[in-house]
Amino acid sequence: MISFLMFNWIMAITPGPNTIMALSEGQVKGFRRSLIYNFGSFVGFWLVGGAVALLSTKLLNQPGLTLVMKLVGSGYLAYLAIHSLRGSQAIAAGEGLAHPFTSALLLQATNVKVYLYYVAGLGGFTAVFATTHGVWLKLLVMVMIGAIGTLIWSVVGHYLKTFYNAHATLVNWVVALLLVVSIVDLWR
């Protein structure tokens, strides 16, 4: 369970299209005005997660598919670990979104990171919530952590950016090591 939660928190707080947009909305509009974006992101989390969960309840009983999902999830986590060690440029704030709810919803629907988040989280970690309705319990946890992660980027985006710019190497190594731990746990 701890590794499942760690995987979710890492995926929720590591940079990706959604978190970068939440950072920008928080910096440009402030927290209260960025809540519209966050709500669109939340709805998108439910829609994408629900679609993956519906498919996974039908298909996860096939060992070959589970293996493929674990391989894809592990590959993506390894990619993120390597990418985090390379570092990134500072994130500049934009002008904000004209239609933040719709933009967030569409971003979630086209965000490969979100699909892989659910595929790896719902398909892997098979010991977590190993019940008839376990996939739906995992989905609930994943959506809530994902939404909280987006809110965190909106609330402390500017400070996170400042901290990251000052301590980029340390942060990148910690994230990479935590991602590797998540990969190992997927195969237990």
pLDDT digits (tens, 9 = 90+) for 140-162: 999 999 999 999 988 876 666 66
Q: What is the pLDDT of residue 138?
A: 86
The mean pLDDT of the chain is 78
DSSP structure class, residue 15: -
Question: Which tens digit of pLDDT belongs to each residue from 86-128?
Answer: 765 444 444 556 788 988 888 888 777 788 888 888 877 766 6
Q: What is the pLDDT of residue 103?
A: 86
Q: What is the pLDDT of residue 95?
A: 54
Query: What phi and psi values does residue 95 have, to the nearest 5 degrees?
Result: -95, -5
CA angle 138, 142, 147 (to 5 degrees): 155
Give CA–CA dist 119/14, Å, rounded.
17
* Among the listed residues 175, 157, 91, 75, the one whose alpha carbon sits nearest the alpha carbon of residue 124: 75
pLDDT(178) > 80:
no
pLDDT category at 23 given cuts 50, 70, 90 is confident
Measured in whole angstroms, the distance separating CA 161 from the mean position of its chain's CA atoms is 18
Give CA–CA dist 57/126, Å, rounded.
12
Contact 161, 23 (CB under 8 A): yes
* Among the listed residues 185, 139, 125, 149, the one whose alpha carbon sits nearest the alpha carbon of residue 11: 149
Contact 7, 121 (CB under 8 A): yes
Q: Which helix (H) or strand (E) holds 174?
A: helix 168-186
* Threshold 0.85, pTM exceeds: no
- Highest mean pLDDT: which range of 148-152, 161-165, 180-184: 148-152
Give CA–CA dist 99/105, Å, rounded.
10
Find the range with the poorest average confidence among 119-123, 136-140, 164-168.
164-168
Give CA–CA dist 78/85, Å, rounded.
11
